[in-house]
Amino acid sequence: MDIHEYQAKELLSKFGVGIPTGALAYSPEQAAYRAREMGGDRWVVKAQVHAGGRGKAGGVKVCSSDSEIQDVTENMFGQKLVTHQTGPEGKGIYRVYVEAAVPILREIYLGFVLDRASQRVMIVASGEGGMEIEEISADKPDSIVRAAIEPAVGLREFQAREIAFALGIKPALIQQMVRTLMGCYRAFRDLDATMVEINPLVVTSDDRILALDAKMTFDNNALFRHPQISELRDKSQEDPRESRAADRGLSYVGLEGNIGCIVNGAGLAMATMDTIKLAGGEPANFLDIGGGATPERVSKAFRLVLSDKNVQAILVNIFAGINRCDWVAEGVVKALRDDPVDVPVIVRLAGTNVEEGQKILAQSGLPLIRATTLMEAAERAVAAWQADVKKNSNLRAV
């Protein structure tokens, strides 16, 4: 789960990370009032969306008066911000963060991520802040500092000092930098985060180290331990299909193809998508219905997949171990009887109670296309999709 910049800053500040003075606003009038409330003569207005590259897309503006803030935010609210991370559809701007401008002396990149190769939390830092880490890695790889954290003992102060010295922090600010690094690590560990990124972390001309921007991502599987984090979820920034799936306990990722997938098990779902592409098609989604594929769960999965208007065929691929093929078959039949569909449905069942499942499908009277192997299922799904597209094209021509 992602959260907004202002939320990440609020969390990090509780762990001792320095942040500039700022306030949230939901309207142009409120944004101008927040600036007057803070005082000063320069402010930064930031669109709050779950995406990087906001500055290049016009989502970050420096203002010198409250009237300028009002004009800038008038053009932001209700608009879609399109960045390299949002795709062409963009993300809606419904709130802005007004922050007091600070005198920046230098910028630093700082990130805490999970390194699956070493099975450690990895600190990635660079004295070339303000750029995306991908750009830093490509343009100035020698500037990157890495340090793995031993999980048994956590981040130690000597490690934090080594990183601070490697980044060229002057001696008078070393302790501030150590406090920032330790605070980020504690937030990462205690809140079950999967990423903490501050870009840029700035050194100001008045000798402060502040997080000018912040991103945090959390492990969905650990949110039950952190209800205060769950409450920070903003569904307006999520793919509506993925939000509906999460609310129903399904693992779903929307893609750009035309063949919808209903599969049990993440590995099998990935293999199914690869096989569809091998057969010449494009998957419309990743959908793992999990181990308990009851008829109700399968029915929910059908409705979710069909909510994507790009879906022109559906492939159901179930390998039943914990599941039962007869349950899945009942779910497929129930879903199609409750909500008839006008796209081809291909079903491949294997494993526990497969004979009973096949019997239920055969006796349903529904126009289902059955397959025995995954490759056969994918080929039939692609063929059925292409035939359906051709038929609809001919009908439109007539």
213 marked as binding residue: yes
Geometric angle at alpha carbon 292, from 287 and 296, rounded to 5°: 80
Where does a domain end: 101, 129, 159?
101
Question: 268 near 317, Cβ under 8 Å?
Answer: yes
3-state DSSP call for residue 124?
Answer: strand
In a domain, 398, yes or no: no
Beta carbons within 8 Å of 393's beta carbon, 6+ residues apart: none
Q: Where in the sequence is the domain holding 86, given as residue range(s)?
A: 21-101
The per-residue pLDDT for 281 is 92
89 marked as binding residue: no
Rounded CA-CA distance 234/8 in Å is: 13
In a domain, 397, yes or no: no
310 marked as binding residue: no
Mean pLDDT (10-residue bins), the chain, 398 residues: 94 96 95 93 94 87 93 92 83 94 94 92 89 79 90 94 95 96 97 95 95 94 91 81 70 86 88 94 87 70 84 89 82 84 89 90 90 93 84 54
Catalytic residue among 5, 6, 97, 109: 109
The per-residue pLDDT for 395 is 47
Task: Return the CATH number at 156.
Answer: 3.30.470.20
The per-residue pLDDT for 148 is 94
In a domain, 330, yes or no: yes
Residues 28 and 136 both lie in one domain: no
107 marked as binding residue: yes
264 marked as binding residue: yes
Task: Provide the pairing of β-strand 345-351 with 369-371.
Answer: parallel
In a domain, 396, yes or no: no
The per-residue pLDDT for 208 is 96
Residues 64 and 121 both lie in one domain: no
Catalytic residue among 5, 197, 330, 379: 197
Cα–Cα distances (Å) from 277 to 252, 257, 264, 281, in that order, read: 18, 10, 19, 5
Residue 97 known to be catalytic: no
Residue 68 known to be catalytic: no
392 marked as binding residue: no
The per-residue pLDDT for 398 is 47
Where does a domain end: 199, 220, 238?
238
The per-residue pLDDT for 291 is 63
In a domain, 260, yes or no: yes
